[in-house]
Amino acid sequence: MSEPILQIENVSKTYAARRALFGRTAEVRALKDVSISVQKGESFGLVGESGSGKTTLTRSILHLETPSAGRILFEGQDLARLSPADLRRLRARVQIVFQDPYASLNPRMSVRDIVTEPMLVHHDILGLSRTQRTDRAAELLSLVGLGPQHLTRYPHEFSGGQRQRICIARALASGPELLLLDEPTSALDVSVQAQVLNLLCELQDRLGLTYFFISHDLAVVRYLCSRVALIYRGELVEEGTTDEIFDTPKSDYARMLIGAMPEVKVRRGATA
Amino acid sequence: MTDSVQTPRTEPVRHRDDRLRRALFRFSQSKLSMIGAAIVAVVLFFAVFGTVLAPFPGHVAGAVDTANQFQAPSAAHLFGTNELGQDVLSLVMAGTTVSVLAGFGVVLIGSVIGTLVGAVAGFVGGWTDEGLMRLTDLTLTIPSLILAMAIAAALGPGFTNMVIAISLSWWPGYARLVRGEVLAAREEVYVTAARAIGASPARILFRHILPNVVSPIIVKMSLDMGFAILTVAGLGFIGIGVRPPTPEWGTLLSLSRANMPGYWWTAMAPGLAMFLAVFGFNLLGDGLRDILDPKARR
């Protein structure tokens, strides 16, 4: 538990001003000097509202964007200094599950093609033959609660929860150690949310994964994560263990968020 | 309800069949689409068998029968005979092959070039995009028939040269269509997912982006077929296309111009054939658009 798998050091990201019809648009500072450290095997929650820089941070971790300043280290290796080949190899070990399961699966690919694609791309590392890939895909599907009979189907034949399971299977296909979960349940029905969250807990126990869980849903974060960071307008507001943050919040923003959490109160006898 | 036992293996196949059947059903619900499909089927039939089925195969090969010139339509010659005494129906039937083949060639070459240019421009972006799209705009500003005339004149007349000439003025439409579609598809989450997996740019373009933009391309191809046939006939009309005696609609029409208005039937048959082919391909294209690309409906 002591070894950090992911270190985000003083990362800033500024989107340059663009020429508009009249003058220039203001530059956008999406991230300001953010530092986070995620330990191996833990579930780290990142909480923030829309536009707070959560997505920019995930894109930076995946190296789909380059930070304007600061470093992102995966197991001590600076992502920005990796050669393209090393970066590709690293992509097998860091995977992501997106928020919208309806948009994140290619409608023209069968489930088999979707789930085996990471194995095909990382053929040099995994070295699986065609039949082995299909077997592994079936195995992954049963791991996420689907079955081999779903291999030849297409995404449109599945419900939102099932699609999210396919996304999880795809993310697991390359054998990652760190999984970024970008609000994986916020597009799902409440009952399905619980199923997917339980599946994620189960998978973590079984495969020893590290989760970087992004959400604006405090209840979900409290359920799943051991440590939490709050981000507001690109700045890290507070960081600590889940219990610390929820029981003794230090910042006003944290208190405000926790105060805004909907509580289910059962009023017995109120109408009687 | 013929088989109540279903093995899991056949089930997915049934699912895909279902989708196809539903699309076919929707297509068959539209009378105009069905008429279009029927006309196209007839045109394609004559394109393949026209030369064989022609009642006077000798005339197709270039035989002349001046004793029977300018016969009015009758039972023996349904569309009459021309100035050389050749059966007009036979010539038109045989001419289908050249027209359809040339039209198909133009659309195919044009769509392949256009798709490649548009896909690369939209996918790579930046200066590549600028360069390729300005080239496309430049090609668009030149009237296609004039460009085709210039190219045909430079390369010399003939079937292949004509197809190449028209194709070279045909691709910009596809380039612009595909670029727009690629720009939209590039931002899809599944493309980001493929990037996160570590897929190569070529893999992302050919496996994730292009398969999701084929529908509008196919629709445009079927809509363009008619116009391509018309352009081919236009080049034939001004004498840059296929040379007589090979029968071709545009050439036939051009030759019969001298016979107007007295021997109107020599012009009517090829004109009617062209009209029907263009009409059929347009109706079919509209029908395909409705089932493949409903959002493009106007």
This complex has an ipTM of: 0.85
B193 contacts chain A (CB < 8 A): yes
Which residues in chain A are closer than 8 Å to B187, comparing Cβ atoms? none
Tell which residue, B50, B62, B16, B4, has the closest CA to residue B270: B50
Q: Is B16 on the interface with A (CB under 8 A)?
A: yes
- The three-state DSSP-derived secondary structure of B233-293 is HHHHHCCCCCCCCCCCHHHHHHHHHHHCCCCCHHHHHHHHHHHHHHHHHHHHHHHHHHHHC
Q: List, in sequence order, every residue forming a beta bridge with A19; answer none if it has no partner.
A: A24
The answer to whether A106 contacts B195, with C-beta atoms less than 8 Å apart, is: no
**pLDDT value of residue B10:** 43
**Disruptive mutation site among A91, A106, A163 for chain B (greatest number of B CBs within 10 Å):** A106
d(CA B143, CA B236) in angstroms, rounded, equals 17
Q: Given an 8 Å threshold on Cβ–Cβ distance, is A152 in contact with B12? A: yes
pLDDT bucket at B48, cuts 50 / 70 / 90: confident
Q: What percent of chain A has pLDDT over 70?
A: 96
What average pLDDT score do residues B121-127 get?
91
The pLDDT value recorded for residue A268 is 58
For range A209-215, the mean pLDDT: 91
Dihedral pair phi/psi, residue A235, rounded to 5°: -115, 140
Residues B208, A100: C-beta atoms closer than 8 Å: no
Look at A154 and B16 and tell me if their CB atoms are within 8 Å.
Answer: yes
pLDDT tier, A266 (very low <50, low <70, confident <90, very high otherwise)? low
Report the CATH architecture of B24-61+86-296: Orthogonal Bundle (1.10)
* Residue B6's pLDDT band (cuts 50, 70, 90): very low
Residues of A in contact with B8 (CB under 8 A): 149
Q: Does residue B297 surpass a pLDDT of 60?
A: no
Residue B118 pLDDT class (50, 70, 90 cuts): very high
pLDDT of residue B108: 94
Of B15, B16, B197, the CB nearest to A91: B197
Query: What pLDDT shows up at residue B2?
Result: 44
Task: Tell me which of A108-112, A164-168, B23-27, B72-76 is least confident.
Answer: B72-76
In the structure encoding, which two tokens stand for residue B137, read together?
A: 């705009």
A chain contacts of residue B195, beta-carbon cutoff 8 Å: 62, 64
Task: Enumerate the residues of chain B whose CB falls inside 8 A of the CB of residue A106.
Answer: 190, 194, 207-208, 211-212
CB spacing of B189 vs A100 below 8 angstroms? yes
- From the list B155, B284, B174, B168, the residue with the least C-alpha distance to B231 is B168
pLDDT beyond 80 at A190: yes
Residue to substitute from B9, B17, B187, B197, interface A, most A β-carbons within 10 A: B197
Instruction: Report the gap between the CA of B235 and the closest CA in chain A (Å).
Output: 40
Q: For residue A25, what is the DSSP state?
A: P
Identify residue B237 by its one-letter amino acid code.
Answer: F
State mean pLDDT over A22-45. 84
pLDDT, position B281: 92
Residue of A nearest to B16 (CA): A153
- Mutation test of the interface with chain B: which of A117, A163, A179, choosing the one with the most B Cβ atoms within 10 A? A117
Contact (Cβ atoms closer than 8 angstroms) between residue B204 and residue B191: yes
Q: How confident is the model over B5-24, as a mean pLDDT?
A: 57
Task: Note whether B192 contacts A: Cβ–Cβ < 8 A.
Answer: yes
Confidence label for A232 from pLDDT (cuts 50, 70 and 90): confident
Is pLDDT above 70 for A76? yes
Give the nearest chain A residue to B200 (CA atoms). A121
Inter-chain contacts counted by CB atoms under 8 A, chains A and B: 67
Min Cα separation B205/chain A (Å)? 12
Burial of A210 (0-12, 13-18, 19+ CB in 10 A): buried
**Would you say B95 and B249 are in contact if contact means Cβ atoms under 8 Å apart?**
yes
Residue B298 has pLDDT above 60, yes or no: no
Q: Out of B189, B203, B211, whose CB is closest to A103?
A: B189
User: What is the C-alpha to C-alpha distance for residues A194 and A191, in angstroms, rounded to an integer?
Assistant: 5
Query: Rounded distance, CA B233 to CA A145, Å?
Result: 61
Query: Cβ contact (<8 Å) for B197 and A106?
Result: no
B11 touches chain A (CB under 8 A): yes
Query: In angstroms, what separates the C-alpha of A14 from chain B's closest C-alpha?
Result: 20
Ordered alpha helix ranges (H), chain A: 54-61, 84-91, 111-121, 123-126, 130-143, 160-172, 190-207, 218-224, 242-247, 252-259
User: Band of the pLDDT at A267, cuts 50, 70, 90?
Assistant: low
Interchain contact, A121 vs B199, CB within 8 Å: yes
Nearest CA in chain B to A104: B190
B58-114 pLDDT, tens per residue? 777 777 777 777 777 777 777 777 777 788 788 888 888 888 888 999 999 999 999
Strands A94-97 and A178-182: parallel
In angstroms, the CA A95 to CA A207 distance is: 14
